[in-house]
């Protein structure tokens, strides 16, 4: 029992050691509310939501999606610009920027901005909720759920203890990426007419990966220089950057590189075997009595059901045993389409 009370006292003291400016802000008293919301999100998008939608038609929420994505562009742009003007455009040191815990206008505004960024992570849950309502369950990948589900809890610690300084570089870069990302989603939500403008999807994913490299380098540079910034948060931010980089790298490999390799294999001979064209007029199979000739793996439908040359069977001459003239077997073949494009 004494051990339990010791843990409780340690927890209360630890929470009290946070930034006093944010102590009474929404969800800032302790991690329990944020953790509960994140777990509820995972439970809903993976289990409850799909269960509720199983016997329902997908919802048509295109205009809601367009509005939401453009709204996220505006929100991300605002936070990015404010983080820049309050710090990263000129006032902050890119190599080492301690947290300003004073009551100065810039320091207080930065703390508020960090809190608003934290709240925006909850708003991003809407991305996945849209997938549930539209029954796009295949889009609710492990990467997607981990990325969205872990972010509010990760950012909470920064707002609670370091709402400013070196910590805010993560939010600064992340908001820049989200401007691009939500603009892409907004265009995609408009419909197929926008497809010709969406060729840059894989570059957007690459941009997200570059983001994590920048955050990783910016955070772990403090291993090599003295800076009045909590080293625990250096490890916390750097670890998240590494984790997300590997998750996004795996997504990039599975989504783009495999497709590229498959397309290349198809062009370089998946439609051909040992260099022999399927439409060279030589049928590998024998013409049979039921009018079906195996044409290099493709069933050619034959009109007359007998093997002839030039449309006439010559009794004194043997059947051609699958050898055709000008791609025809048994007189006339209905199709000579190769197996790579269509299976009759």
Domain boundaries, the chain: 29-265
The three-class DSSP label of residue 90 is: coil
Of 4-8, 155-159, 274-278, least confident by mean pLDDT is 274-278
Most confident of 82-86, 248-252, 324-328: 82-86
Quote the pLDDT of residue 201. Answer: 86
Cβ burial of 329 (10 Å; 0-12, 13-18, 19+) is: buried
DSSP 129-141: HHHHHTT-GGG--
Say what angle helices 105-123 and 168-190 make with each other, to 10 degrees.
40
DSSP 116-185: HHHHHHHHTTHHHHHHHHTT-GGG--HHHHHHHHHHHHHHHHHHHH--SGGGHHHHHHHHHHHHHHHHHH
Cα 261 to Cα 258: distance, rounded to the nearest angstrom:
5
Of 46-55, 96-105, 163-172, 234-243, least confident by mean pLDDT is 234-243
229 close to 98: Cβ distance less than 8 angstroms: yes
Quote the pLDDT of residue 128. Answer: 97
Cα 107 to Cα 99: distance, rounded to the nearest angstrom:
8
Quote the pLDDT of residue 268. Answer: 66
Dmax over CA atoms of the chain, in Å, equals 108
Quote the pLDDT of residue 20. Answer: 94
Quote the pLDDT of residue 310. Answer: 41
Q: With bands split at pLDDT 50, 70 and 90, how would you rate the model's confidence at 247?
A: confident
Is 147 annotated as catalytic? Answer: yes
Cα 161 to Cα 232: distance, rounded to the nearest angstrom:
11
Q: Put residue 329 in one of left, alpha, beta given phi > 0 → left and psi -120 to 50 → alpha.
A: beta
Q: With bands split at pLDDT 50, 70 and 90, how would you rate the model's confidence at 287?
A: very low
**What number is the average pLDDT over the span 219-224?**
95
Cα 290 to Cα 272: distance, rounded to the nearest angstrom:
27
**What number is the average pLDDT over the span 59-72?**
97
Is pLDDT above 50 for 328?
no
Cα 142 to Cα 161: distance, rounded to the nearest angstrom:
29
Mean pLDDT for all residues in the chain: 81
Q: With bands split at pLDDT 50, 70 and 90, how would you rate the model's confidence at 142?
A: confident
**What number is the average pLDDT over the span 125-151?**
94
Q: Considering 139, 147, 178, 240, which one is annotated as catalytic?
A: 147
Buried b / exposed e over 272-295, threshold 16 CB at 10 Å, is eeeeeebeeeebebebeeebbbbb
- For the chain, the residue count is 344
**C-alpha closest to that of 290 among 276, 277, 301, 275:** 301
Percent of the chain with pLDDT over 90: 64
CA count, 13 A, side-chain hemisphere, 45 = 26
CA geometry: angle 38, 21, 71, nearest 5 deg: 50
Quote the pLDDT of residue 1. Answer: 78
């Amino acid at each position: 029992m004494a051990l339990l009370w010791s843990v409780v006292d340690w927890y209360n003291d630890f929470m009290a050691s946070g930034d006093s400016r944010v102590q009474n802000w929404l969800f800032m008293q302790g991690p329990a509310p944020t953790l509960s919301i994140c777990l509820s999100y995972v439970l809903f998008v993976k289990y409850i939501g799909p269960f509720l939608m199983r016997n329902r038609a997908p919802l048509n929420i295109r205009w809601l999606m367009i509005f939401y994505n453009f709204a996220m562009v505006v929100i991300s742009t605002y936070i990015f610009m404010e983080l820049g003007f309050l710090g990263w455009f000129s006032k902050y040191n890119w190599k080492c920027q301690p947290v300003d815990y004073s009551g100065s206008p810039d320091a207080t505004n930065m703390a508020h901005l960090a809190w608003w960024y934290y709240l925006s992570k909850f708003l991003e849950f809407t991305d996945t909720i849209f997938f549930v309502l539209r029954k796009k369950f295949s889009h609710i990948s492990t990467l997607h759920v981990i990325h969205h589900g872990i972010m509010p809890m990760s950012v909470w610690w920064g707002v609670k203890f370091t709402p400013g300084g070196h910590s805010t570089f993560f939010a600064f870069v992340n908001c820049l990426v989200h401007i691009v990302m939500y603009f892409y989603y907004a265009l995609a939500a408009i419909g197929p007419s926008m497809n010709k403008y969406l060729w840059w999807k894989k570059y957007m994913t690459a941009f997200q990966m570059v983001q994590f490299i920048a955050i990783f380098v910016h955070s772990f540079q403090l291993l090599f220089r003295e800076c009045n910034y909590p080293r625990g948060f250096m490890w916390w931010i750097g670890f998240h950057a590494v984790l997300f980089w590997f998750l996004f790298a795996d997504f990039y490999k599975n989504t783009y590189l495999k497709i590229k390799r498959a397309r290349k294999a198809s062009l370089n001979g998946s439609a051909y075997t040992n260099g022999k064209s399927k439409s060279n007029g030589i049928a590998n199979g024998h013409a049979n009595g039921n009018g079906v000739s195996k044409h290099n793996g493709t069933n050619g439908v034959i009109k007359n059901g007998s093997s002839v040359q030039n449309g006439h069977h010559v009794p004194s001459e043997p059947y051609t045993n699958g050898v055709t003239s000008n791609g025809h077997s048994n007189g006339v073949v209905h199709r000579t389409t190769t197996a790579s494009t269509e299976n009759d």
